[in-house]
Amino acid sequence: MPPMSGTRRRAAAGVLLAALALAGPHPASAQTQATPPPGLAAGTVRGSVVDERTEQPLARVLVRLADTDYRATTGADGRFELRGVTPGDYTVTVSVVGYALLRKPVSVTPGAALEFTFVLTAGTGTYEERVDVVAPVFEQREPGSVAEQTIGATELQDLRGLVADDPLRAIQAMPGVTATDDFSAEFSARGAGPRNTAVLLDGLPASAVLLHAVEGRDDSGSIARISTDVLSRATLMLGSYPQRTGDRLGPQLEFLTREGSRDGFHLRGMVSMVAAGAVAEGPLAGGRGSWLASIRQSYLDWIIRQLYPDEDSFLGFTDAFGRITFDASARHQVSLTLLAGRSHYEEADTGTSPNALADAESRGGLGILGLRSTGRSWSLAQRVYAQVNAFQNKQPAGLEAGSGRFADAGYRVDFTRALGARLTLDAGGQAQRVVDRQSVFSYDRRVPPRRTTLETWDTEATRGGAYVHLRWQAAPAALLAGGARVDGTTLIHGAAASPWVQFEQQLPRGVRLRAGTGLYQQEPSAEQVDGLHGGGDGLARQRALHVDVGLEQTVGARTRWQVSLFDREEQDVAFASGL
């Protein structure tokens, strides 16, 4: 697959217009304290509140001891302090609109000073009747990102589609996104297809395991392998975004899973036109942790068999999700996330073709073990993960028409530190081992049939990368951010450096000007390097230069308009010769 040397594909300018409905803000409450009884030494409860995904401090969040007058709101650094607390047992509640309510039991002893870090998850949850503090009406998950769109759990539920519980259908409804097929969950954005779009789950690349699909074929449908009910939000960044994971030319989509409820056991079911499922959640260790579990089973194949006995093709799937979160201490949180799924397609009447698809099965899963540690001005997230996806297709005589296996295991670390009142440092990296094998065959009409290999590759590679990102709040109305990442792989020769920069300025009438540019690089796939028609390890990395400029304004409490102009120039993009 030779590179497209000297040829550039230029993306046209685009316009994004988004209107979202969210509640308006309320004024923040003032800090109040109670007085302990005479002779009894008071205690102190203090700490910080951070966002689960960005690990950044959250300002103007209400922290209080339930059923008491002890309350405080966090400052710009996310810190709070409750002084003069009478010794005893309490329940701390942490609340802000746009995030699930957090409850945590605490015991205050005479003279004690308790330190906590509360991690809030965006999305729906159990809220108290009175709301004292609000988050911004429209979230900006990545400060300075020009064309970013974030939707929470409620919007994901509304947009996931009536036919199937599919969060990727919600993404297809976003401005700038085009669905490639009515029966496919994949999408393109700004002209970049699925192969050039990064899809993350909790900050880790997960494109290979997030789809139920008939693999090894280009004309099959697909549906997401995860239920919308376990997600807290989805963020789509279309261009000029910080490359924390890298290795994609186009946009980045991240799904963030939520924690289970810590206030009690909850069980609910859901039914769509193609599947039924259930979600259960509850607390662990008296509220020090939580668990969340989900399972889905399709029944469309059963309905078709009952209603249409002459129908000869059927598709079914099963998937399950689980997450456990536990606060090992006030500063350390451990989590375990598991995702698994299986899909099966069969066709009874395949005609006379020896290469018709009669049976296809796909299995895949992902496991993430994470440790999050926080301090007064820093946070550290470490994750060990493994993911695998395998498939096998058969033709009418039961012979193998194709099979493949993708496996990826690695370690990732992300670090954030406030270097001052206006400067924040993000840094991190990952190391991974990837195995990618696939073969596709065809048969002639001889007896016995003779097999021809249409495509095959067997690749093992080690990858590594690191990034650094700085954000400087130059003034209350201006932001400057930039960084770079370096990537290397044993699949091809050489390393890659990818810089980026973003700028944001507040203009009159609440209008925000954002601009950004960056170099984005993607290594060739195993098929492009080691396939029968591959170009070998001498292939160059595919490159894209992004330039973005955008204006945005919030009108009233429920409407926002956004206009983005962009240009993406690609070089050395691999293509299949002869097509």
Q: Indicate whether 97 and 202 sit together in one domain.
A: no
- Three-state DSSP class for residue 302: helix
553 lies in the same domain as 465? yes
Give the list of residues 6+ apart from residue 477 with CB closer than 8 angstroms, or none: 505, 506
Give me the DSSP letters along 139-168. --SSTT-SSEEEEEHHHHHHHS-SSS--HH
Tell me how long the chain is.
Answer: 579
Tokens of 42: 């008071």
Q: What pLDDT score does 9 carry?
A: 40
177 and 84 assigned to the same domain: no
Q: What is the pLDDT of residues 336-366, one digit of tens each?
A: 999 999 999 888 776 778 988 889 999 999 9
Range of the structural domain that residue 465 is part of: 9-20+142-571
- Both 393 and 426 in one domain: the answer is yes
* SS3 at position 173: coil
pLDDT band of 388, cuts 50, 70, 90: very high
Residues 506-519 have pLDDT tens digits of 999 889 999 999 99
Query: Within this chain, do residues 246 and 184 fall inside the same structural domain, yes or no?
Result: yes
Alpha carbons 415 and 65: distance in angstroms, whole number: 31
pLDDT digits (tens, 9 = 90+) for 271-327: 877 788 999 999 999 889 999 999 999 887 777 677 666 666 777 899 999 999 999
Is 38 part of any domain? Answer: no
Q: What is the pLDDT of residue 36?
A: 52
Residue 453, number of CB atoms within 10 A of its CB: 10
CATH number, domain of 180, equals: 2.40.170.20
Residue where the block lists tokens 């493994």: 386
CA distance 30 to 358: 68
Residues 95 and 182 in one domain: no
pLDDT surpassing 80 at residue 96: yes
Residue 195 corresponds to which tokens in the numbers above? 């192969």
Same domain as 427, residue 313: yes
What is this structure's pTM?
Answer: 0.76
Nearest to 521 by CA among 489, 564, 490: 489
How far apart are alpha carbons 561 and 512 in whole angstroms?
Answer: 11
Residue 495: helix, strand or coil by DSSP? strand
- Lowest mean pLDDT: which of 133-147, 245-259, 429-443? 133-147
Task: Name the residue among 579, 576, 489 with its Cα closest to residue 532.
Answer: 576
Residue 79 lies in a domain: yes
Q: Which amino acid is it at 318?
A: T
Q: Measuring CA to CA, how many Å separate 323 from each of 52, 288, 371? A: 15, 14, 13
Q: What is the DSSP code (8-state) at residue 303?
A: H
Last residue of a domain, one of 120, 150, 170: 120
Based on the domain organization, do 158 and 264 belong to the same domain? yes
Q: Which residues of 410-420 are buried (b: 16+ CB within 10 A; e: fewer)?
A: bebebbbebee
Contacts of 59 by beta carbon, 8 Å cutoff, 6+ apart: 74, 75, 76, 77, 78
Q: Is residue 522 part of a domain?
A: yes
Q: Positive or negative, the Cα torsion across 554, 560, 566, 571?
A: positive
Cβ-contact 62, 133 below 8 angstroms: yes
Name residue 573's amino acid: V
Look at residue 390 and tell me if it is in a domain.
Answer: yes
DSSP assignment of 475-503: ETTEEEEEEEEEEEESSSSSEEEEEEEEE
Residue 135 forms part of a structural domain: no
Cα–Cα dist 185/195, whole Å: 13
Percentage, residues of the chain above pLDDT 90: 46
Which tokens hold the place of 361? 């099965």
pLDDT at 193: 87
Question: Could you say which of 90, 120, 150 is where a domain stops?
Answer: 120
Is the residue at 132 inside a domain?
A: no
| Parallel/antiparallel/unpaired status of strands 198-201 and 252-257 | parallel
Tokens of 297: 């089973």
**Distance between CA atoms of 121 and 114, rounded to whole angstroms?**
22
93 with 177, same domain: the answer is: no
26 located within any domain: no
Note the pLDDT of residue 299: 85
**Residue ending a domain, choose from 55, 88, 120:** 120
**Token digits of residue 145:** 């990102």
Domain assignment present for 15: yes
Residue 24 has pLDDT above 70, yes or no: no
- Nearest to 140, CA basis, from 367, 378, 577, 471: 471
Count of other CB atoms within 10 angstroms of residue 2: 13
CATH number at residue 83: 2.60.40.1120
Give the DSSP per-residue string, 188-237.
EETTB-GGGSEEEETTEE-TTTSEEE-TT-SS--EEESS-GGGEEEEEEE
Segment 379-399 mean pLDDT: 94
Whether 72 and 174 map to the same domain: the answer is no
Q: What are phi and psi of 182, to 5 degrees?
A: -65, -25
Based on the fold, state whether residues 299 and 230 are members of the same structural domain.
yes
Q: What is the pLDDT of residues 128-182, one digit of tens each?
A: 333 333 344 456 667 778 888 888 877 787 777 656 678 888 888 888 898 877 7
Residues 255 and 107 in one domain: no
Domain count, the chain: 2
Q: Are 146 and 514 in contact (CB under 8 A)?
A: yes
Enumerate the H helices of 464-558 as residue ranges: 526-530
